[in-house]
Structure 1
Amino acid sequence: MSNNNLKGTLPECFYNFTSLESLDLSSNQLSGDVSALKSLTSLVELRLSNNYFEIPSSLEPFFNLSKLKHFKADNNTIYIESEMQPMAPRFQLNLISLSSCGDVGQFPHFLFHQHDLRQVYLSNNNFRQGFPNWLLNNNANLEWLDLANSSLQGHFELPFLPHTDLSYLDVSENSFYTNLPIDIGEKLPSLSVLKMSKNQFHGSIPSSIGDMNFLEALDLSNNQLSGGLPEHLTMGCFSLTSLALSNNKLQGQMFSSNVNLTKLQELHLDGNHFSGKIPDSLSNCSFLSTLNLSNNVLSGEIPRWMENMSSLSTLDLSNNELSGDIPRWMGSMSNLKEIVMANNHLEGPFPKEFCHLNDLQLLDLSLNNISGRLPSCFSPLWISQVHLSRNKLEGALTNVFHNSIRLAILDLSNNHLTGKIPRWIGNLYGLSFLLLNNNHFEGGIPIQLCNLGQLSLIDLSNNNLSGTIPPCLKITALNEISQEYVRYVTDIAQAPTGSFSIDEPIEFTVKSMSYSYKGIVLTCLSGIDLSCNKLTGEIPSEVKNLRNIYALNLSHNNLIGPIPLAFSNLKQIESLDLSHNNLSGKIPPLLVGLYSLSYFSVAYNNLSGSTPAWTAQFATFDESSYVGNPLLCGKPLKDCSTSGPSASLLPKASTENGLIDMISFYVTFVVSYVMAILSIACVLYINPYWRQAWFYYVGAISNCCYYFLEDHILPKRLHCGNM
């Protein structure tokens, strides 16, 4: 009867089904109590998961179901009775599953009376108690114990005696704050899966884990573990297929020369302090499909032995200190789907051999020193993300990426790329993020960008683009981002290891500040930045179609004409920058209706009239939002009744003109003075009578000056010298 959208409470007719052995009511919308099932004494298996039942933690309604072995009631409400039941239930369960049942507060009391449990699922609850080692002591045959995300706390105490049947233990996402038990390998020798991530375990990794010869998956990520990786672990756990030690405080050399992890398929050592070169001992792990060594202090070149890892599909070496050229032999690793080597010291040209990576889905080589041109043959069909920002790439974009129709993110910002923005970008119909800022692109904005119906963010700032803004340019509404990228983020979030996620950031300028955005936040980001170019013409009135835009920056261009009234339709906009243009006319009063606006600038234009009403968001903008418009008035500027422009609000052009006027004055004065002296000299040279009179006049003045000095100045000096 599962998955039938049944509603209401359980009917009393269930009292008559005394011979029923199996009942499945899961995944419906049933509610109320479960007392109607207390007479089903022949039940062996009962499934009530995914409903709205209210079940007492003692399971008192089922006390008389002596044959019950399997009980599942996940995603219901478990409550604690006001009076604890003193009786023990008649059933002895093999399987109990009560995951995601809310704020239970404590472990259900009936569990203390169970001695034949094989599988226990109690994850995603709120028990607020310590580790229930009594479950292991009381149930010698227990094989599976899942207590993930159950608000467990305190010390992690193992059973008194070794438990040889337990093969699966998950206590991840709790609050244990203690050292890992040094004898964990001796007490739980048969474990095949051990998950203890996202706690507060500290101290070193116990070497006794190396005694777990059957261990296939070990996850100790996101703790406070320190020290190195025990050699006994890397030699003794020869059955390991997955090892995750991410985000701890491990340090030193990554591996010793002795490693016997030949079956390893996934290795996550990111977010630690490992140093030195990538160890050659990893070359024995020939079955690796995922290798994440990011966020360490690894140095040296990328080792050549990686070429022999034919199964490798995900490689993350980002945020280290690796150097040298990007190896050309990587182009022969045909199974590579994700290459992340950002923020290192890699240099040299972009390998042309990467053109052979037909299955590549993600490439991040940003924040390196890669130079030269991008090869025109590089156009992987399945690639969805390309991050090559902050390198030294140069030249024009020819046919690179022209076949990458699934491309969702293209980030080539902060390079030395030249030429025109290619028209074939308009064929990348799934493109959501286009970042070409801080390059040397020229020419106009290609009208083909209007074909990109999934475009959510476009940044073409700090180039040499000219021409007008295409009226058809648009971006998608919030949360209508490329389905490819959403699917990618979702897949990562649901990854079974829970520790590995390629979370590539995107830089975008908002409110005059550059921020990094990554992960699911990108699905809520939409904006256009065309600032710092040479764009001309008027702002198209079609901006009204950008209804869900978050940020718009058109500053530092040569735009003219009025501010379109259509801006008042951008109800979601938070940042609007139109400064440093040649806009004229009045600021539309209806802009006061933009209640989400937190940054606004129309500084250094030729605007006139009154500023918008001093209300709502516009009451938070100061004089800097309007400076450089001498004909503007109203708060926060001068009152409109005051005549004449304020000297503090004069645009840069007025200041520059004043400087030019003063220079002209000084030049004219000097030239006039020189001309006057030359004129007098010419007259004296031509007329002898005037020349004689002039010399007589100069001599008379000289004699007067001499006698004045002799009578008044020299006697005082002699007097001072005799004192």
Structure 2
Amino acid sequence: MPSTIKSLSSIEALAFGNNMLNGSLPTWLCELKNLLELDLSNNMFDGNLPKCFSRLSCLKMFDISSNQFTGILPPSLIMNLKYLEYIDFGLNKFEGSFSFSSLCNHTKLEFFKHESGNEKLKVETEEPIGWIPMFQLKVLALRNWNIKRFKGSVVPSFLLHQHKLQALDMSHNSLEGEFPNWLLENNTKLESLTLRNNSLQGVLPMEYLNANMKNLDMSGNHITGIIHNDIQKFIPYIEYLNFSNNALNGVIPSSICDLHRLQTLDLSQNYFSGKIPKGLVTNISNLEILKLSKNALHGQILSGNLSLSFFYVLHLDNNYFTGNIGNNIVEYTTWESLQFLDISDNFFKGTIPSWISNATSIDELIVRNNRFKGQFPCGKASFRFLDISENFFSGPLPYCLNMESMQHLHLGSNKFTGLVPKTFRNLTNVFTLDIGHNYLSGRIPKFLGDLSKLRILLLGNNDFSGSIPRQLCKLTIVSLIDLSSNSLSGLIPRCLHYSIRPKELVFIQDATFIENGPNVYNYETTIRSSYYGGGVYQDETQDEAQFTTKRNSQTYKGKILDYMSGLDLSCNKLIGEIPPELGILTHILNLNLSHNKLTGPIPVSLSNLTEIESLDLSFNGLTGKVPSELIQLKYLAVFNVSYNNLSGKLPEWKAQFATFTEDSYEGNPLLCGPPLKNKCITESQMTHPSVEEGTDRSWYDIDMASFYGSFSSTWFVFMLGFAALIYINSYWRRRWLELVEECMFTCYYFLHDLVRKPSMIFRN
């Protein structure tokens, strides 16, 4: 900030918002004694707030939100600025605590907004007990605050004294207990109420809502009951209505179609049943966003002639809808605004009509897990997110789509046949490519290695043959590779260690707060016109992928995909040794090489897989020992080397290896040691075996020194007895001497003939 500003001693308004200014705030700002308005929002300022700011006694507007300020908010700072009307210091990194009682004497305060940037700043709303504020707020927005509440309090008790609120946002605060109906009774001018993601209970308090309500968001609580049949009488001018993720039940009343100003309706994740009122998709001309996901609704909502007005988002997924998608579209131009269509996890059937592929506005099309069949139609649409998996589509893979805009392509679990089309080389921006669980054949295309942004590659459960192309090693940021259950042969490429490495996050897609709700409050200043409409939350579509790990096939969704990593080459015909280079994949969580024809030892380098949770090498022809170094794998939850030709002592039975049972090693008869029943024989036991009383001993348990001693003494006694017998009995003495004489003559003539024959042959 240019220091020349300090010479402008009479300046009343200073605005540097929405720039890229950084560094600490200069103390010369405190010299601007006539300053009424200060806007430093949306920059990169850091450090502590100067304590001397408390000298700006004339300040009315104070906005330092969305910066990197740290330290403790000086108690005197806000307390001394008694003429404040507008305060916003959210989305910073302040620590310590802030007490609302420091505002008790601010008689002119209308607007207080703060969204927590961390969990280090605690908010005292009840101290001192019984304090009464002198202000009457019009806007109070406390999103994601670490509010310190007294036992039994649901919302801050100072709100009991507020009667002029126009907008109240206390979302993401873990508020508990019954819904405070008094809050609505006291504030009859309330137009925007946002209590998203708390733990409030009770019945939907429709009778307490006033007719001026424009924005109502009570999603993510435990609200029960039904929607009143005469809802239009309570909130006739509502524009944004969000009751999602609660426990509401019953049917959706037809009276909801009389809310003619309604732009967004979200009733997803409840227990609604029955059919959707027909007027909901025909009568509300302003309705742009309709979300009815995860209920128990039924009917043929998309059959026949369709007229869905100017929908921007339409989510009907996870219900019991049936029927075909209509081929005839009334007022086709009304579909030009549709960007997000999700009808997954229902019972729709038939074919996909061509108008869907030609709706150029559609950005996301999700029809997963229905009963669609036939071929997917070609068209002009440039999908960014296309999921038609878990249906009965057949024929070749869709080759005529606009591939350049595609980021997530899910074609898996269908009946597609043939080769991977060459047009797939145009998927240059794709993150997820799922064509697994089909009937595809031929070789895995080499051009897949050129898809440089690919993060998830699922080709499993097809009939691909040939070797694994080395070009896949060029996928240096891939996190999941599934080539399992094919007919792949040859060696495992050693260069695969270049893949599956840490990378930037791309799958984190959460609800986004958008400051474009209905306008309910305006604050006019010299430097800007500030309005507050409560804002709305836009839930972004989360990608998902199915991958087998820890012996189970699981579906991973959303941000977890940024942290999942695995390589599955199981159930193929791969040969050769396990490449030691795979030990370089230090961040991999799952490695499955089972059910192949691999030979050789288990590489010691696999002990470098420090993050691995599942390692399956079963049903191969591996030999040698199980490396004792594997005991270092402290996160290993599943380990399987069964049905190989391994031998020797197992790693020491401790740490994670103490959790593995005999099942992990069965089919290897030469392995020994816990948890197997086979006991290992050490070298010391071979030379000095221990004698255990009361046990049955085999030959290898005998003390060898005792054995040699007893054998020698037995031989000596036998010879002594034989000599005594010959000496005493003349008959046996004579027979023994005749036997000796006969043996001598036999040996003599044998040697005589052996020497004589070669000499006779030489003379002849």
* TM bucket, shorter chain: 0.7 to 0.9
Q: Is the 8 A contact 1:294 1:317 kept in 2?
A: yes
User: What's the counterpart of residue 679 of structure 2?
Assistant: 639
Task: Tell me what 2:7 maps to.
Answer: none
Identify which of 145, 169, 177 aligns with 2:224.
177
Residue 10 of structure 1 deviates from its aligned partner by 7.1
For 1:319, the aligned partner's letter is D
Tell me if 1:623 matches 2:662: yes
Q: Which amino acid is the alignment partner of residue 346 of structure 2?
A: N
Q: Distance in 1 between matches of 2:462 and 2:574?
A: 16
| % identical aligned pairs | 39
Q: Please, which moves more after superposition, 573-582 or 619-628?
A: 619-628
Q: Give 2:236's match in structure 1, choosing from 182, 185, 189.
A: 189
User: Residue 428 of structure 1 corresponds to which residue in structure 2?
Assistant: 451
From 265, 269, 279, the equivalent of 2:292 is: 269
Q: 1:538-549 to 2 correspondence within 5 Å?
A: 538-549=577-588
SS at match of 1:474: helix
Give the counterpart of 1:220 among 263, 267, 279.
267
- Partner-residue secondary structure (3-state), 1:640: coil
Q: Is the 8 A contact 1:478 1:524 kept in 2?
A: no
| Structure 1 Cα separation of the partners of residues 573 and 451 of structure 2 | 26
1:612 aligned onto 2:651 = yes
Task: Work out whether 1:346 is the aligned partner of 2:390.
Answer: no
Identify which of 536, 549, 555 aligns with 1:510.
549
What SS does the aligned partner of 1:559 have? strand
Tell me, in whole angstroms, the C-alpha distance in 2 between the residues paired with 1:326 and 1:211.
Answer: 32
1:490 matched to which residue of 2?
509
Matches within 5 A, 1:300-315: 300-306=323-329, 308=332, 309-315=335-341
Asked if structure 2 preserves the Cα contact closer than 8 Å seen for 1:22 and 1:45, the reply is yes
Other-structure match for 1:78: 123
2:143 alignment partner in structure 1: 99
1:253-275 per-residue CA deviation (whole Å, 9 max, x = no partner) reads xx7xxx31333332323323333
2:473 alignment counterpart: 450
Superposition pairs for residues 250-329 of structure 1, below 5 Å?
259-279=282-302, 283-306=306-329, 308=332, 309-329=335-355
Is the 8 Å Cα contact of residues 157 and 181 (structure 1) preserved in structure 2?
no
Q: Displacement of 1:420 after TM fit?
A: 0.8
Question: Is 1:582 aligned with 2:611?
Answer: no
Quote the offset at 1:284 in angstroms.
2.1
* Alignment deviations for residues 10-58 of structure 1 (CA, whole Å, 9 cap, x no partner): 73772x544333334545335256345444443333334354463434x
1:563 aligns with 2:611: no
**For residue 113 of structure 1, what is the amino acid of its counterpart?**
H
Q: Which one-letter code corresponds to 1:163 in the other structure?
A: N
- The 5 A counterparts of 1:322-471 are 322-351=348-377, 353-354=378-379, 356-357=380-381, 359-378=382-401, 380-471=403-494
**Match for 2:123: what amino acid?**
I
Give the one of 54, 65, 79 matched to 2:97: 54
One-letter amino acid of the structure 1 residue matched with residue 244 of structure 2: S
Q: 1:305 to 1:103 in 2, by over 3 A?
A: farther
Query: 1:116 — aligned with what?
Result: 164
Give how far 1:403 is off: 0.8
Q: 1:468 deviation in Å?
A: 0.7
Of 450-459 and 293-302, the range deviating more from structure 2: 293-302
SS at match of 1:543: helix
The DSSP-based 3-state class of the residue aligned with 2:581 is helix
Name the CA shift for 1:419/1:624 in 2 (closer, same or farther; >3 Å). Answer: same
1:452 deviation in Å? 0.3
Cα drift, residue 454 of structure 1: 1.1
Instruction: Tell me the SS of whatever aligns to 1:544.
Output: helix
Matched residues in 1 for 2:77 and 2:292: separation?
Answer: 53
Whole-angstrom distance in 1 between the partners of 2:341 and 2:288 = 12
2:37 corresponding residue in structure 1? none
State the SS of the aligned residue for 1:522.
Answer: helix
CA RMSD of aligned residues (A): 3.2
Q: CA deviation at 1:626?
A: 2.5
**Does 1:519 find its partner at 2:558?**
yes
State the distance in 1 between where 2:566 and 2:612 align: 9
Secondary structure at the counterpart of residue 283 of structure 1: coil
The TM-score normalised by the length of structure 1 is 0.76
**Is the CA contact (8 Å cut-off) linking 2:177 and 2:201 kept in structure 1?**
yes
Residue ranges of structure 1 left out of the alignment (5+ in a row): 235-254, 644-723
Change (3 A) 1:424 1:379: farther
- Distance, in Å, in 2 between the alignment partners of 1:35 and 1:180 is 48
Helix, strand or coil at the partner of 2:577: coil
Shift of 1:194: 2.6
- C-alpha distance in structure 2 between counterparts of 1:209 and 1:325, whole Å: 32
**Letter aligned with residue 636 of structure 2:** L
The answer (yes or no) to whether the contact 1:456–1:475 under 8 Å persists in 2 is no
Structure with the larger RCO, 1 or 2 (CA within 8 Å, 6+ apart):
2
Query: Using a 3 Å threshold, how does the CA distance of structure 1 residues 42 and 588 change in structure 2: closer, same or farther?
Result: closer
Aligned residue number for residue 573 of structure 1: 612
Q: How far off its partner does 1:125 sit?
A: 3.0
1:300/1:322 contact within 8 Å kept: yes
Q: CA deviation at 1:333?
A: 2.0
Paired residue secondary structure (1:152) = strand
Q: Which amino acid aligns with 2:200?
A: L
Aligned equivalent of 2:176, options 102, 106, 128: 128
**Letter aligned with residue 193 of structure 2:** L
CA distance in 2, matches of 1:81, 1:297: 48
Distance 1:38 1:597, change over 3 A: closer
SS at structure 2 position matched to 1:145: strand
Give the partner amino acid of 1:386.
L
Q: Which amino acid aligns with 2:140?
A: I
Aligned CA distance change for structure 1 residues 383 and 31 (closer, same or farther; 3 Å): same
Map Cα deviations across residues 650-681 of structure 1 (whole Å, 9 max, x no partner).
xxxxxxxxxxxxxxxxxxxxxxxxxxxxxxxx
Q: How far apart are 1:544 and its partner, in Å? A: 1.7
Partner in structure 2 of residue 709 of structure 1: none
Are the aligned partners of 1:103 and 1:127 in contact in 2 as well (CA < 8 Å)? no
Distance 1:370 1:53, change over 3 A: same
1:31 equivalent among 54, 72, 80:
72
Q: Say whether the 8 Å CA contact 1:134–1:159 is kept in structure 2.
A: no
What secondary structure is seen at the aligned counterpart in 2 of 1:191?
A: coil
Letter in 2 for 1:321: F
**C-alpha deviation, 1:505, in angstroms:** 3.9
CA apart distance, 1:499: 8.0
Summarize the Cα distance change of 1:185–1:526 in structure 2 as closer, same or farther, 3 Å threshold.
same
Specify the SS of the correspondent of 1:23.
strand
Q: CA deviation at 1:383?
A: 0.8
- Quote how far apart the aligned CAs of 1:390 are: 1.9
TM-score by length of 2: 0.72
- Partner residue in 2 for 1:145: 193
In the alignment, the residues of structure 1 paired with residue 546 and residue 669 of structure 2 have an alpha-carbon distance, to the nearest angstrom, of: 35
1:375–1:364: structure 2 CA closer, same or farther, 3 Å change rule? closer
SS of alignment partner, residue 559 of structure 2: helix
| Matches of 1:597 and 1:265, distance apart in 2 | 49
* Match of residue 19 from structure 1: 58
Please tell me the residue identity of whatever aligns with 1:639.
Answer: K
- 1:717 — aligned with what? none
| CA distance in structure 1 between the partners assigned to 2:415 and 2:383 by the alignment | 23
Structure 1 contact 262–285 (Cα < 8 Å) conserved: no
1:270-328 residue CA offsets vs partner (Å, 9 max, x unmatched): 32333342345772224223322222233332211359323332222222222223334
Name the CA shift for 1:494/1:560 in 2 (closer, same or farther; >3 Å): farther
Q: How far did 1:550 drift?
A: 1.2
CA contact (8 A) 1:600 1:621 kept: yes
Q: Is the 8 A contact 2:125 2:158 kept in 1?
A: no
